[in-house]
Structure 1
Amino acid sequence: MKLIYKLKTALILTVLLSACTQEKLELEVYETSANGNQLDPITDFSTKSTDDRIVLLPNQEFQTITGFGGSFTEASAHLLNQLGPENRKKVVEAYFGSKGAKYSLTRTHMNSCDFSVSNYSYAEVEDDKELEHFTIQEDKDDIIPFIKEAMEASEEGFKILASPWTAPPWMKDNKDWRGGKLLPEYYDTWALFFSKYVNAYASEGIDIWGFTVENEPLGNDNNWESMHYTPEEMTYFVQNYLGPKLESDGHDVKILGYDQNREHLKEWVDEMFKTEATSKYYDGTAIHWYASTFEIFPEALQYAHDKSPNKYLIQSEACVDAEIPKWRDDLWYWSKEATDWGWDWAPEEDKHLHPKYAPVNRYARDIIGCLNNWVDGWIDWNMVLDKQGGPNWFKNWCVAPVIVDPEKDEVYFTPIYYAMSHFSRFIRPNAIRIGFTNTDDDLMVTAAKNPDGTIAVVVFNEGESPKDFELALGEKTQMISISAQAIQTLVIQPTPTN
């Protein structure tokens, strides 16, 4: 009995000694929450005991991150032109400055889109097959100054992905801005259009990193600018016209195929990456999120990655659509009151994919879900909209992370802005997503190791109660408390080497 007693005593002492000598994980914690935190530093760590653990596995490596960001639309740039100099600079710095979201991957539209003030093309002169009258003059009043100011604010720079919504009507079979298809006799001209766009922007000091071939090639019910392709038609155009033209003109730009919702992803990547010849000029695939307000379609994302594991898989557009923004009402963005286009218009068999939702929840769920299923870049839609959710020539109102009132020269940074910043600010280009284990199914988690050695962990608690968990990296641990309805980014500094 004495021996057993001594063994028990020794075991207790060993456990206590281990607990006392266990190293604490040194980290910074930032939180955005429904209770009012806006990327605020958290310094009071939990002391509660819990069985819930997130264990980081830095030796498990997945995709390399391309970046995060938003889009330079004419609507956003037009609104910035109406703000006073102080607020204009405030918005640009908030997105691109060293103390802001530090956007690293962006998008813009070639020719007009629904978030333009009116319809326009860089090739307005009909039957100008050599595009002798090609001009980006339309962009010089708004989009180009916006991009240049962002370039000045950004210390590390950012990539630009450009997308056409449509070719000019004279190149299409229906002679309209909306719907229709590119006529085969203009395939050469349309490929030349992309090449001239790269040159024109380069002459303004702006490098174009990549293209998507067509925004939403399945169309939008002919509501605003669009042009239709089948997977076979797009691949034929890329393989025989666009890819060879950009190559022969010496343009080192990426080409991403598809560029629409994930539920049709399989049929597109099957065609794009069918053979070595079909995939030669494709650098990857672009996707949108509008098929559901909650479903991320992980099987489709996994399938697309497996089909082309060494190519990009980039979320190129997302927004709270079919909504007029709520002005200075932070709680609305955390409330399950928003509806999307599918609330009214989805087929009956798809209605379940479009329930009411909280905007912040949708962003956090989707970005984390995308990252954990091989997506390497995530781009939001408009960076700035007004209180109506425009301007938009079709009145297709949407929400942006930053809402402005140009008449009063006022700016509102919505909770979506802070939600985006949790990823864009702390997970940098060329970071590598790493593995982890998580015992709490109610917490969503993703993690990445940055080029500077820091590890960024993003945790999302959608629930209405705060939670405690232990974060572990090797032998080091730290107890953390996350608020109800909150996003946290935890930044772990690299261990010094002797």
Structure 2
Amino acid sequence: MRTLNYITLIMAIAVLSSCNNENNTLNIEVYETSEAGNKLTRITHFQKSETVSLIKLNPNREFQTITGFGGAFTESSAYLLNQLSNKNRDTILKAYFSKEGANYSLTRTHMNSCDFSLTNYSYTPVENDKNLEYFTIEEDKGDLIPMIKDAMAISEDGFKIFASPWTAAPWMKDNKHWVGGKLLPKYYDTWALFFSKYLEAYKNEGIDIWGFTVENEPHGNGNNWESMHFSPKEMTDFVQFHLGPKLEADGYSDKIILGYDQNRAGLKEWVDEMYRDEESSKYFDGTAIHWYESTYEVFPEALQYAHNKAPDKYLIETEGCIDSQVPVWKDDAWYWKKEATDWGWDWAAEEDKYLHPKYAPVNRYARDIIGCLNNWVDGWVDWNMVLDKQGGPNWFENWCIAPIIVNPEKDEVYFTPLYYIMVHFSKYIRPGAKVIELEKSDDQLMATAVVNPNKSIVVVLFNESEESKSINLNLNESTMTFSISAQSIQTILIPKV
């Protein structure tokens, strides 16, 4: 997708060497988070390095339009917020949703319970209630809905929310369990009605749901926590013949439907089926993906295939986190070390172990988001916003790390380095931005760039190496020379030019 044009880059070098007067200097702001301790720090003094990386921006060549960045509202996160003092609760919500903070623009929540719930529950507790006369979201009113509404009150720009079911109630499934099994065909219409009922119930609470993923992880999750299995054809048939028409009939045709919602390596068979013809394609607004097949490998070929199959549809990373890992408390250095594992370290097939190395949590986030943006992904959503020191609460004890960790017993809050990585993207790259062409001379430096709706340009750089680098940035024959620290991420903001 982003092919390096070496002839153009050589021409850029010539331009860089001749542009030393003030009239040809770009006015930029540089914000850095680094292993050395910077946390979204404004950098104004730069040190020269022997290693010089050349970057040239071409805003005339545009790619995908950005939908947004953010995280998920889960019952676990909402419950923890309610265990904190009002001051710390407010601090966390402002950190995520205020303009001064991360200014999240795209969020997710779960329908019925998920692993990051306190227990199993369903909005349809009465068996054989085919018309869902006893549908209720009462379980969400104690923690989850207040968190969402308070975030809405803080956010000046607003944010999109999409919802995902982990499973239907056991009475609708062939195995009669929360975990695994398939939706019985006789309940397909009931399950489509479930989505419509959810929209109505949340609207009555003052919350507008932007759209849905059809099913979280339709391959299942090893029969561990809530799940419900679909094949590509089963999901596509459900959307084409049941969910899409039901939302249309109930006046919700504007709601977004994202198919798949699992790992990137399986994209081809899913998008081939979802977009098999015009009748199926019209109900799918895009494809949802997760990163757990590998939090190290982006799978660019799969992402590009999915985009090319449906170039006018969304391609959104709807969940990613540092999984199978108890959080490390108040030790920033650990998040920069290549010590964290993921589920695949223990459980992946031997031939797939290379996809699951020990790797620094910060590097996973920075590499993945930049890699996604450079391969047609238009939104990136983190998992839980808040977890405790154990990496829960989680009814299955499936511990994970969130960007913000809390100790409710002592009313303490820890902003991990992962929080600042998210801010580098979400705060500065706004919905409606266009990813633009970027050429660079250094393969070891990761980089992406966008033009925002206000015409400002944002460049995000990630230097994974152990040495600092000097950067020569060229835009429209204007240049700026600055540097990036070893083991750091930078956001470069270029005001409207």
TM-score (norm 1): 0.95
Residues 82, 21 of structure 1: CA spacing in aligned structure 2 closer, same or farther, 3 A cutoff?
closer
In 2: Cα distance, 1:151 partner to 1:415 partner: 25
Match of 1:65 in 2: 66
Q: Which amino acid aligns with 2:63?
A: F
Match of 1:3 in 2: none
In 1: Cα distance, 2:277 partner to 2:290 partner: 25
- Give the secondary structure class of the aligned counterpart of 1:471: strand
- Give the secondary structure class of the aligned counterpart of 1:95: helix
- Give the secondary structure class of the aligned counterpart of 2:215: coil
In 2: Cα distance, 1:15 partner to 1:340 partner: 43
Q: Does 1:307 align with 2:309?
A: yes
- Give the secondary structure class of the aligned counterpart of 2:481: strand
Contact residue 47 and residue 479 of structure 1 kept, 8 A? no
Match of 1:107 in 2: 108
Alignment of 1:131-142 (within 5 A): 131-142=132-143
Match of 2:383 in 1: 381
In 2: Cα distance, 1:49 partner to 1:400 partner: 37
How much does 1:152 deviate? 0.7
Q: Which amino acid aligns with 1:475?
A: E
Alignment of 1:267-286 (within 5 A): 267-286=269-288
Match of 1:221 in 2: 222
Contact residue 173 and residue 181 of structure 1 kept, 8 A? yes
Match of 2:421 in 1: 419
In 2: Cα distance, 1:474 partner to 1:246 partner: 47
In 1: Cα distance, 2:318 partner to 2:191 partner: 22
In 1: Cα distance, 2:49 partner to 2:353 partner: 42
Identity %: 68
Contact residue 198 and residue 207 of structure 1 kept, 8 A? yes
Contact residue 16 and residue 472 of structure 2 kept, 8 A? no
Contact residue 22 and residue 475 of structure 1 kept, 8 A? no
Residues 15, 300 of structure 1: CA spacing in aligned structure 2 closer, same or farther, 3 A cutoff?
closer
Q: Does 1:181 align with 2:151?
A: no
Match of 2:345 in 1: 343
How much does 1:220 deviate? 0.6
- Give the secondary structure class of the aligned counterpart of 2:243: helix
Q: Which amino acid aligns with 1:480?
A: F
Query: Which residue of 398, 406, 420 maps to 2:408?
Result: 406
Q: Which amino acid aligns with 2:158?
A: G
Contact residue 46 and residue 479 of structure 1 kept, 8 A? no
In 2: Cα distance, 1:424 partner to 1:140 partner: 28
How much does 1:17 deviate? 8.2
Match of 1:42 in 2: 43
In 1: Cα distance, 2:17 partner to 2:358 partner: 50
Residues 18, 217 of structure 1: CA spacing in aligned structure 2 closer, same or farther, 3 A cutoff?
closer
How much does 1:414 deviate? 0.2
How much does 1:45 deviate? 3.2
Residues 22, 492 of structure 1: CA spacing in aligned structure 2 closer, same or farther, 3 A cutoff?
same
Q: Summarize deviations over 1:56-97 as a string: whole Å, max 9, x none.
A: 100010000000000000000000000000000000000001
Q: Which amino acid aligns with 2:320?
A: A
Match of 1:171 in 2: 172
Q: Does 1:493 align with 2:486?
A: no
In 2: Cα distance, 1:154 partner to 1:18 partner: 42
Q: Summarize deviations over 1:245-270 as a string: whole Å, max 9, x none.
A: 00110012100000000110001001
Q: Which amino acid aligns with 2:183?
A: L
- Give the secondary structure class of the aligned counterpart of 1:129: coil
**Structure 1 stretches lacking a partner, 5+ long:** 1-13
In 2: Cα distance, 1:66 partner to 1:470 partner: 29
Match of 1:33 in 2: 34
Query: Which residue of 293, 305, 318 maps to 2:295?
Result: 293
In 1: Cα distance, 2:79 partner to 2:189 partner: 33
Q: Does 1:396 align with 2:398?
A: yes
Contact residue 434 and residue 449 of structure 1 kept, 8 A? yes
How much does 1:24 deviate? 1.1
Q: Does 1:330 align with 2:344?
A: no
Q: Which amino acid aligns with 2:477?
A: E
Q: Does 1:80 align with 2:103?
A: no
- Give the secondary structure class of the aligned counterpart of 2:71: strand
Q: Does 1:144 align with 2:157?
A: no
How much does 1:379 deviate? 0.2
- Give the secondary structure class of the aligned counterpart of 1:480: strand
Q: Which amino acid aligns with 1:283?
A: D
Query: Which residue of 359, 362, 365 maps to 2:364?
Result: 362
Q: Does 1:162 align with 2:163?
A: yes
In 2: Cα distance, 1:15 partner to 1:466 partner: 20
Match of 1:318 in 2: 320
Q: Which amino acid aligns with 1:157?
A: G
For the pair shown, the structure with the greater C-alpha radius of gyration is 1
In 1: Cα distance, 2:333 partner to 2:51 partner: 30
Q: Summarize deviations over 1:127-154 as a string: whole Å, max 9, x none.
A: 0011000010000001100000100110
Deviating 4+ runs (over 4 angstroms): 14-18, 46-51
Q: Which amino acid aligns with 2:211?
A: G
What do you get for the CA RMSD once the two structures are aligned? Answer: 1.3
- Give the secondary structure class of the aligned counterpart of 2:200: helix
Alignment of 1:4-15 (within 5 A): none
Q: Does 1:234 align with 2:218?
A: no
Match of 1:11 in 2: none
Query: Which residue of 454, 457, 460 maps to 1:455?
Result: 457
Q: Summarize deviations over 1:224-279 as a string: whole Å, max 9, x none.
A: 00000000000000000000000110012100000000110001001001111121
Residues 184, 53 of structure 1: CA spacing in aligned structure 2 closer, same or farther, 3 A cutoff?
same
- Give the secondary structure class of the aligned counterpart of 1:149: helix
Corresponding residue pairs, total = 482
In 1: Cα distance, 2:25 partner to 2:17 partner: 15
- Give the secondary structure class of the aligned counterpart of 1:160: strand
How much does 1:19 deviate? 3.0
Q: Summarize deviations over 1:186-228 as a string: whole Å, max 9, x none.
A: 0000000000000000001100001000000000111000000
Match of 2:439 in 1: 437
Residues 18, 115 of structure 1: CA spacing in aligned structure 2 closer, same or farther, 3 A cutoff?
closer
- Give the secondary structure class of the aligned counterpart of 1:453: coil
In 2: Cα distance, 1:420 partner to 1:192 partner: 35
In 2: Cα distance, 1:316 partner to 1:214 partner: 12
In 2: Cα distance, 1:244 partner to 1:411 partner: 46
In 1: Cα distance, 2:17 partner to 2:312 partner: 48
